[in-house]
A and B are shown apart, each in its own frame.
Chain A
Amino acid sequence: MAKVLMKGNEAIGEAAIRAGCKNYFAYPITPQSEVAEYLVKRLPEEGGVFLQGESEVAVGYMIFGASAAGERVMTTSSSPGISLMGEAISYIAAAQCPAVFVNIVRGGPGLGGILPSQGDYFQAVKGGGHGDYHLLVMAPDGVQEAVEMTMQAFSLAEKYRGPVMIMGDGLIGQMMEPVEFPDDLKTEPTNKDDWATNGMNSRNSKQRNLVKSLFLDPTALNDNNLALKAKYAQMKKEEVRFELYNGDTDYQVLITSYGTMSRVCRTAIDQLKEAGIEVAMLRPKTLFPFPEKAVFEAACKDSCKAVISIEMSMGQMVEDVERCVKGRRPVAFYGECGGDIPSPEKIIDIIKGLL
């Protein structure tokens, strides 16, 4: 298959189409508006649906309505817009509808900045919206992974009947890299007749379907939450993905890092190796479910003296890393979140400071 040089945002848009999703609702926000600008031209070619909604609040509910009617659907946004979608995500999770959300993360909090950051980890993994729910969160480290994870997101969303998030960032959204769209990641939508509001005639049924998230009866509400919890337990068993880079050496330090930051760490690790210092990196590809066991095992390697979480934030994933290391090794943190991505040299200095 030939590779194409594409901007991350545009590749994500194309990935949705190649995966079999032709419905897109979104609101412009830097640094991801190019997705809409690309799809507004591409979707009509595929007979798809494109609509720029009036706000991210509205878009979140357009996604909900379309998903509840049984169609594959995606939106893309960036941090402040994802905040506005938080309520809708909670509703979508509670009502058990499949949907794909892409967050091209920018600086925060507040209006923040338009450069990349990783400050939305807590929002994606620990909350964002209210109530006991989780997003399945995947974090690509470049345009190719963004394409593959976006394509996989639709079948994952249908498998678990819930919202799935791709956690990108401004760099991934803006940069251009060669990509290919693997044919085997295109999937057929599942049959949704037993729950979707696709019209009784559509399913030749006299039984109507109801999509809701209100359960006034305490037992019913608890049952709904137990059903959600069971899904997350299954996710933890079946969907954990990670990469352990340079792991089969006697590394002295374990870096935990994801997304764009992990690429810099990879370069730092390669340069340190040339200088005779072995460092490994545990790169979560799923932020939820988090690779808890893998982090623990990698940290506890005899040669490993310390763990450091390196993020473009003030320290979010590090809390999960600490939790997973269970006190067996010291866990340090380095982060910056103004939008300047730390250089490999900076990372090398930080690592040397730990030794």
Chain B
Amino acid sequence: MGKTFTTPKALSKTHTHYCPGCTHGIVHRLVAEAIDDLGIQGKTVGIAPVGCAVLAYNYFDCDFQEAAHGRAPAMATGIKRVRPDLMVFTYQGDGDLASIGMGEIIHAANRGEKFTTIFINNAIYGMTGGQMAPTTMGGQRATTAPAGRNTADTGMPLRMANLLGELVTPGYITRQAVLKPQQVNKAKKAIKQAFQYQMEDRCFSFVEVVSTCPTNWGMTPLDALKWAEETLLPYYELGDYKVPEEIDS
């Protein structure tokens, strides 16, 4: 009984700046584990967003580019088109992907660009101090929605995995969570699957990960996990929204 657990090689030794209990750290590790498991560290290029993960490049030991806010899918397109042999992934948050970067992600997904996007959905803007995000829930407080989000005025929260799942172009579009161990294990499988599709040159892959932001939600890390489970998961339903068709052998 019992097993070993080693920090993956593709994760650097640098201590992260993320808040205590922030699930960015879990997802970083899962991405690094996938890179290690697939043996692709030497040909991976990651693209960091603008947001809390702006310094993500300090936490991975592989080639990295830093994108302007929202533009990572365009940069990934540029890299992947000129160097299709490289394994390219973007790592983006709510504002980066679902607000300013909405055009870039939809078009990259619709073109079927063969890179992988990891989308951290924590229903708020972290780095800039807790403003409302396109993914903020109705009634949820944010600094730019101090009385709670008014969906009559600002619309309903955007469900990116659902949206991208509606595109006709084949892809791997899935929503996962990292709120408890079983989910973390499934999320890891999904992230690894996403990179595997890229290795097969199959399709665009997108893993939305329901995450927490204890600091800007004004909760302890454990309460944040609970709130996410109770309030986010019923709306942001987990599961696969699109998978590429089976290839006839």
**A contacts, CB < 8 Å to B:** 23, 25, 49, 51, 53-55, 57-71, 73, 87-88, 91, 95, 197-202, 208-214
Number of chain B residues close to chain A: CB under 8 A: 33
Closest Cβ–Cβ distance, residue A60 to chain B (whole Å): 8
A68 to nearest B CB, angstroms?
5
Q: Is the CB of A58 within 8 A of B81?
A: no
Would you call A58 and B103 a contact (CB within 8 A)? yes
Q: Is the CB of A66 within 8 A of B82?
A: yes
**Interface pair A64/B78, CB less than 8 Å apart:** yes
Cα A158 to Cα B175 in complex, Å, equals 42
Kindly provide the distance from the CB of A230 to the nearest chain B CB, expressed in whole angstroms: 22
* Chain A residues within an 8 Å CB radius of B65: 64-65, 68-69, 197, 210-212
Which residue of A is nearest B58, CB measured? A210
State the CA gap A282–B20 with chains docked (Å): 64
Bound form: Cα–Cα A25–B65 in Å: 19
Q: Is A214 a contact of B54 with CB atoms below 8 Å?
A: yes
CB–CB B43/A65 < 8 A:
no
Please list 14 pairs of residues, one from A and one from B, whose beta carbons are closer than 8 Å in the complex, sorted by A's number: A54-B103, A58-B103, A58-B104, A61-B71, A65-B78, A67-B78, A69-B86, A87-B68, A197-B65, A202-B43, A210-B65, A211-B64, A211-B66, A212-B64
Q: How far is the CA of A88 from the CA of B41 in the complex (A)?
A: 28
The yes or no answer to B63 lying at the interface (CB within 8 A) is: yes
Q: How far is the CA of A199 from the CA of B44 in the complex (A)?
A: 6
In the complex the two chains form, what is the Cα distance from A213 to B48 in whole Å? 12
A49 and B45 form a contact (CB under 8 A): no
**Contact flag A69-B83 (CB < 8 Å), given A199-B45, A208-B63, A212-B65:** yes
B41 and A69 contact, CB distance less than 8 A: no
Give the Cβ gap from B110 to chain A, nearest Cβ, in Å.
9
Chain B 171-200 residues near chain A, CB threshold 8 A: none
Q: When the two chains form their complex, are residues B75 and A65 in contact, meaning their CB atoms are under 8 A apart? A: yes
Say yes or no: B63 contacts A49, CB within 8 Å: no
Specify which chain B residues have a CB less than 8 angstroms from the CB of A54 in the assembled complex: 103-104, 107
**Chain A contacts for B62, CB-based, 8 A:** 200, 208
* Structural contact, A69 and B43, CB atoms closer than 8 A: no
Closest CB of chain B to A135's CB: distance in Å?
17
A199 touches B68 (CB 8 A): no
Which A residues are CB-close (under 8 A) to B81?
Answer: 23, 25, 49, 51, 62, 66
Bound CA span A57–B77, Å: 13
Q: Which of A51, A58, A59 has the most CB of B within 10 A?
A: A58
Q: Considering only CB atoms, which chain B residue lies closest to A198 in the complex?
A: B83
Q: Which of B49-96 contact A (CB under 8 A)?
A: 54, 57, 61-68, 71-72, 74-79, 81-83, 85-86
Would A62 and B103 count as touching, CB distance under 8 A?
no
* Contact among B41, B78, B86, B103 for A55, CB-based, below 8 A: B103
The answer to whether A201 touches B43 (Cβ under 8 A) is yes
B57, A210: Cβ atoms closer than 8 Å: yes
Q: Do A197 and B63 touch (CB < 8 A)?
A: yes
CA distance A135 to B61 in the complex (A): 32
B103-A68 in contact (CB<8A)? no
| Chain B residues with CB under 8 A of A60 | 71, 74
Q: Given A53-B107, A69-B65, A197-B65, output 17 extra A-B contacts at Cβ < 8 Å.
A: A49-B81, A51-B77, A58-B103, A60-B71, A60-B74, A61-B75, A69-B83, A71-B83, A73-B78, A73-B82, A197-B45, A199-B43, A199-B83, A200-B62, A209-B64, A210-B64, A210-B65
